[in-house]
Structure 1
């Protein structure tokens, strides 16, 4: 129970991305960026300063800078420590009690500290839409596309993308701004989203479109 220790692996490149079934085209005026669960608690299981996590942090920083410069809303998710067992629900059955109130657990990694105007949402379940006002905040800003980056690709990032699709919000996975338990799990997330609900793109492709 709990998170595994994650071995280094190389991130996918543009020519590794699966072809998407969806015809969605990312548009600056319609898009929002979601930086998913980039908290120290979740990142501590990676080997620091190597792939995947080091380039993922750098790529997310690129995406955030490009989004802010383009007037694209930037959202973050962050779980709270010390969750009551009743509030944590079935997640406790798979992952244990989760993060504690320890000061080193909850903060978003320093290189991605939210800036003025960014919105940080409390994360409750795999999907960032569950028990949050993410959809309402997006609709109020005229946004119906969501770029998803962060951890973990095959869990919260994929479920957020699928949930977005079911709310008629077009999802895009930033393929090399995601990290996961392994390259196999990472590729699984990209393939699943490409097959049923969204479009994987590289950081460079997204920055160019923004």
Structure 2
């Protein structure tokens, strides 16, 4: 069961009045590149919105993270998952990723040697992984979230971060979804219920300047 083709759509704006007033601290945050694997990205026209903006924005964030010493984590599902590991996902999405080529992170975003790749089994990058422990070991309690798909893995990862006292920062133009409505609803829900939603430009500004608030 392949991922259906995703029609181009315009990127929605960030919420005007976020519930939380947190600021990113380069000494406390990490970057998550969520499921940017060929299998998932092939559903998009990468020359059109949203992906023609999302891909370069994630690249900019990875480069900025490297420049400021912010750890970069990738989540990636493995190919040829045993049914005992895939579980109920197969009821919705079939067998999923089949080959190493489908499982590869898309070329422009390929992880570097010092980056961390988390093998992922469910929608959330925290479910059945060591991401929470890795963040704690690195002394990080803020997580910048990018990737696909917004209303599934990105949103659920933001919720799980919040539940584990890791403040999530969702990049509004660094995620992509099935539709503009899904994308907007993801931003709105995260901003009102568990985190902060910021565009790439604001994230980059905060990564390269001192934090303005001790909160989060």
Question: Contact 2:32–2:74 at 8 Å: present in 1 too?
Answer: yes
Corresponding residue for residue 162 of structure 2: 165
TM-score by length of 1: 0.95
Give CA-to-partner distance per residue, 1:103-135, whole Å, 9 cap, x none: 430110000011121000101111101111111
* Inter-partner Cα distance in structure 1 for 2:26 and 2:46: 32
Runs of 4+ aligned structure 1 residues displaced above 4 Å come to none
Correspondent of 1:127 among 116, 124, 129? 124
Q: Which consecutive residues of structure 2, in runs of 5 or more, have no partner in the other structure?
A: 208-216
1:202 is matched with 199
> Which residue of 101, 104, 107 maps to 1:104?
101
Instruction: Report the Cα offset of residue 17 of structure 1.
Output: 2.7
1:65 aligns to what?
A: 63
Equivalent pair of 2:147/2:175 in contact (CA under 8 Å): yes
**Equivalent-residue separation in structure 2 for 1:157 and 1:81 (angstroms):** 20
SS in 1 for 2:169: strand
CA RMSD of superposed structures (Å): 1.1
Paired residues, number: 207
State the TM-score, normalized to the length of structure 2: 0.93
User: Structure 1 residues 84-93 or 196-205, which shifts more?
Assistant: 84-93
CA apart distance, 1:18:
4.6
